[in-house]
Amino acid sequence: MRPIRPTLAARRGRNTRRRISPALAAASIAAALALTATACGTGEDDVSAGSTATPGGSFDGKITIPDDLKDRLKDRGIDLDKWRGGEWKNWDRDTWLREARDFVNPIIEGLWDQDRMRGAEEPDKPVVEQDISGDAGVTDPTPSPVEAQAVTTPYGDNAAEAGKLFFDGPQGSMVCSATVVEDPAHPGKSNMVWTAGHCVHAGKSGGWFRNLAFVPSYNNNGLSMAELEGAAKDQVTPHGVWWADWAQTSEQWISQGASTGGQGAPYDFAVIHVTPEKGSDGKSLEETVGSALPVDFNAPATPRIDSITATGYPAAPPFDGQKLFQCQDKPGRLSLSAGDPTMYRVGCTMTGGASGGGWVANGQDGRPALVSNTSIGPVTAGWLAGPRLGEVAKDVYDGVSKKFAGQ
């Protein structure tokens, strides 16, 4: 069994080597599971990491590091000059920042250009892992597959909160899905984004991923892969590129999250605070996209939820990662172990790349609210599972909001 997680494949030139992505696993399900993020290399050895892009596509060796981030880098023993020169590519376990306080993400302007974004979509080939036994929790029958439906374009008019999350890991560039959510400290002016924990942190086997950047309404008009090659920038990134200046996930994911065995999956969520790559015009992310979802941390149990809609950018075949899709289904329950919270599960054919995408249902006040995010699903496609949000998720969310409350 294996959850859908960031898929990784390192590419050199035109030759792509596929690698197995990290994965969680759902218990008592006789199917292969993989996490729903996807990734591939983008020839990044040709890019001078820690650089600023020039119009010709070259890099001038500059990097934007805010003063508070400089202090945090120094506190972690990181040499700024070496970081500028590409030290961020060093994924040695001994130097890979992993603790909650360690997150750093200097803006590398121009790093996520259209070609690099388009390239971070080729999924890995999943493998079947051993079944997980010993489930003492409650798991409902496997749901029937629900065919993912393409979101009507432009996405900004029909799913304004949705977008793609790009980031780098040891094997190359990866991609997840994410959702703009409300910020209690800044009503109507949120810069907060919700995604999966495995889209920001590698769990117990690693640390924080790097170069996290969010693109709301990515490929707003749903262009094909061929059309995107010559597309104008505002078609690909209609609201610009927003870099994470802080990320927070659960301590359970950091300490337990793993590529096999299902550890940490019920706590596989994260909140990111973002800032625009090109500098602020005074507008928040919420004001820029025109919407943000509330988060319901006490959504009804599955029997009392009539419908959940999962949204994301699936990238594993038959999808290509460039278009936004949704599945709508009545959720069931999936238990990984009796000691962990039971997860939601819905029928859905979305594949790798959908990880982190928001799950929306009517909250207790009747308004649409985010109640979960895509975490795991079978390699063969057919259903997805997401954590049920509770006090741990609320602590993560409140922590990010409070950190930027005075700014």
Q: For the chain, which domains are there?
A: 8-403 (2.40.10.120)
Name the pLDDT band for 185 (thresholds 50, 70, 90): very high
CA neighbor of 33 nearest in space, from 374, 320, 302, 371:
374
pLDDT band for position 32 (cuts 50, 70, 90)? very low
In this model, does residue 98 exceed pLDDT 50? Answer: yes
Give me the pLDDT at residue 86, please.
77
pLDDT above 90 as % of the chain: 53
**Range of lowest pLDDT (126-135, 157-166, 274-283, 391-400):** 126-135
What percent of the chain has a predicted confidence (pLDDT) above 70? Answer: 76
**Mean per-residue pLDDT of the chain:** 79
Mean pLDDT along residues 185-207: 95
Would you state the structure tokens that stand for residue 303, as one six-digit string? 């029997």
Distance CA 375, CA 199 (A): 10
Tens-digit pLDDT profile for residues 110-132: 889 998 998 885 434 332 333 33
> Which tokens belong to 227?
């059309």
Distance CA 105, CA 82 (A): 15
- The more confident residue out of 183 and 282 is 183
Pairwise CA distance, residues 70 & 190, whole Å: 25
Asked if the model's pLDDT at residue 336 lies above 60, the reply is yes
Give the pLDDT of residue 378.
76
Buried/exposed 329-339: b ≥16 CB within 10 Å, e otherwise: bebbbbbbbee
- Given a cut of 50, whether residue 37 has pLDDT beyond it is no
Distance CA 401, CA 195 (A): 15
pLDDT of residue 339: 83
Say yes or no to pLDDT of 13 above 70: no
Residue 271, pLDDT score: 98
Average pLDDT over residues 364-385: 87
User: How does residue 64 score in pLDDT terms, banded at 50, 70 and 90?
Assistant: low
Task: Write the CB contacts of 177 (distance below 8 Å, at least 6 apart in sequence).
Answer: 36, 162, 163, 164, 165, 195, 311, 312, 313, 353, 354, 355, 356, 357, 358, 374
> Is residue 12 scored above 80 in pLDDT?
no
pLDDT, position 390: 93
pLDDT of residue 121: 57
Residue tagged 């409140």 (tokens): 398
- Token output for 373: 């995010």
pLDDT band at 33 (very low <50, low <70, confident <90, very high): very low
How many Å apart are CA 118 and CA 101, to the nearest integer? 31
| Longest Cα–Cα distance in the chain | 59
Average pLDDT score over residue span 170-174: 89
Lowest mean pLDDT among 122-126, 152-156, 356-360, 373-377: 122-126
Give the three-class secondary structure for 246.
Answer: strand
User: Any idea which of 35-44, 49-58, 224-233, 393-402 has the lowest mean pLDDT?
Assistant: 49-58
pLDDT band at residue 80, thresholds of 50, 70 and 90? low
pLDDT at 260: 59
d(CA 27, CA 247): 28
